[in-house]
Structure 1
Amino acid sequence: MPAGDIDSVICWHAKTPEHVRKLVWASDPGWMWVYVETPLIRACIYSKKGYCVDTNGGMLVRQRSGWFSSSRVAYFLQKHDESEFQNIGSTYRRSKDVFRERIARYIDDDPELAERIRRSNAYRDKTILMLRDYDPTKY
Structure 2
Amino acid sequence: MKRLYPANFFRLSRIFTVLCLAVCFYMTADTKKIYPALYGSVYLNSGDSIIADGNLCVGLQKKKKELRIISDAYTGNNRIIRTIEPETVDSLIVWSKTAPDHPHKFRFIKEYGWCFEAEHSPYISVCCYAPKGYRCGGNGGLWMYGKCKMLVIKDGKIYEFGQPDKRVDKKMLTQLESLVADDPALSIYISKAKGRRDKILRSLVNYNPEKL
TM range (shorter): 0.7 to 0.9
The structure with the larger Rg is: 2
CA distance in 2 between partners of 1:33 and 1:112 (Å): 27
Report the 3-state secondary structure (helix = DSSP H, G, I; strand = E; otherwise coil) of the residue aligned with 1:130: helix
For 1:11, the equivalent position in structure 2 comes to 94
CA distance in 1 between partners of 2:127 and 2:168 (Å): 17
Tell me whether 1:21 sits opposite 2:104 in the alignment.
Answer: yes
TM-score (norm. length: structure 2):
0.57
For 2:46, the equivalent position in structure 1 comes to none
CA contact (8 A) 1:74 1:90 kept: yes
CA distance in 2 between partners of 1:30 and 1:120 (Å): 30
1:103-122 correspondence runs (5 A): 103-122=176-195
Q: Which amino acid is 1:120 matched to?
A: A
* Identical counterparts, % of pairs: 26
CA contact (8 A) 1:10 1:22 kept: yes
CA contact (8 A) 2:150 2:198 kept: no
What is the root-mean-square deviation in Å for CA atoms of aligned residues?
1.5
CA contact (8 A) 2:107 2:116 kept: yes
Deviation, structure 1 residue 16: 0.2
Deviation, structure 1 residue 92: 2.8
- Which of 1 and 2 has higher RCO (CA within 8 Å, sep 6+)? 1
Report the 3-state secondary structure (helix = DSSP H, G, I; strand = E; otherwise coil) of the residue aligned with 1:36: strand
CA distance in 2 between partners of 1:136 and 1:129 (Å): 17
Name structure 1 gaps, 5 residues minimum: 63-70
Tell me whether 1:78 sits opposite 2:161 in the alignment.
Answer: no
For 1:61, the equivalent position in structure 2 comes to 144
CA distance in 2 between partners of 1:93 and 1:72 (Å): 11
Name structure 2 gaps, 5 residues minimum: 1-83
Count of residues paired in the alignment: 129
Deviation, structure 1 residue 121: 1.3
TM-score (norm. length: structure 1):
0.83
Moved more, 108-117 or 16-25: 108-117
Can you list the C-alpha shifts for 1:17-52, whole angstroms capped at 9, x where unaligned? 111111101111111001112232210000111111
